[in-house]
A and B are shown apart, each in its own frame.
Chain A
Amino acid sequence: GQQVMQIPQYQHVQEGEDFTTYCNSSTTLSNIQWYKQRPGGHPVFLIQLVKSGEVKKQKRLTFQFGEAKKNSSLHITATQTTDVGTYFCAALFGNEKLTFGTGTRLTIIP
């Protein structure tokens, strides 16, 4: 089936360090979305990338879509305690429903 591999599964960083999570697919994606789930919460939509090579920024968060539209990354600069949570990518393969990655759980060491 169509899958999206997300790495790493866990990441522990010191506050102020950067963080990156990656999503990869063996097939071309129509688009990719990113979600954040705070501990005990529900996934919240962050952004969608559609175009090959697209880069979008939200304050300290930078989202990239690969040139081949098979991979994507989320980079957080200078992490803060409010960044704690699990980050999911979710891909549209050309059918009409999202396939979610397994998520990267980010913990911050103060």
Chain B
Amino acid sequence: DADVTQTPRNRITKTGKRIMLECSQTKGHDRMYWYRQDPGLGLRLIYYSFDVKDINKGEISDGYSVSRQAQAKFSLSLESAIPNQTALYFCATSSGHRAGYTFGSGTRLTVV
């Protein structure tokens, strides 16, 4: 099994719909992150969490929300999806701020 599992792998949704992307990890790490990847823009941080009771906004949090249900689970929600949220979304985890990140396989989201 993968260390970081994201579901779904692919999703097409309509404008205005609510959608949740899920992430679970078996690394036992406290730190979890959600990134968005767009061509030519690299990876941009949406939200991050350093433990179950900690939630922080990243550089592009508008239009997104998160929930840290347990140490192993960190979900990302789009309350009302819009087409410019079409992107590849990655969840990641790390053991500390000087540790390498372990990424999930990504969720490709298309908003039509």
Say yes or no: A43 contacts B45, CB within 8 Å.
Answer: no
Say yes or no: A96 contacts B97, CB within 8 Å.
Answer: yes
Interface residues of A (CB under 8 A from B): 1, 6, 9, 30-31, 33, 35, 41-45, 48, 50, 88, 90, 92, 96-103
Say yes or no: B59 contacts A43, CB within 8 Å.
Answer: no
Say yes or no: A100 contacts B42, CB within 8 Å.
Answer: yes
Task: Please report whether the interface of chain B is mostly helix, strand, loop or mixed according to DSSP.
Answer: loop
Report the separation of the CA atoms of residues A48 and B96 in the bound assembly, to the nearest whole angstrom: 13
Say yes or no: B43 contacts A88, CB within 8 Å.
Answer: yes
- Knowing A43-B90, A102-B40, the reply to whether A92 touches B100 (Cβ < 8 A) is no
Collect the chain A residues with CB atoms within 8 Å of residue B45's CB.
97-99
The 8 Å CB contact of A97, one of B97, B104, B106, is B97
Say yes or no: B40 contacts A50, CB within 8 Å.
Answer: no
- Nearest-CB residue, chain A, relative to B45: A97
Collect the chain A residues with CB atoms within 8 Å of residue B99's CB.
48
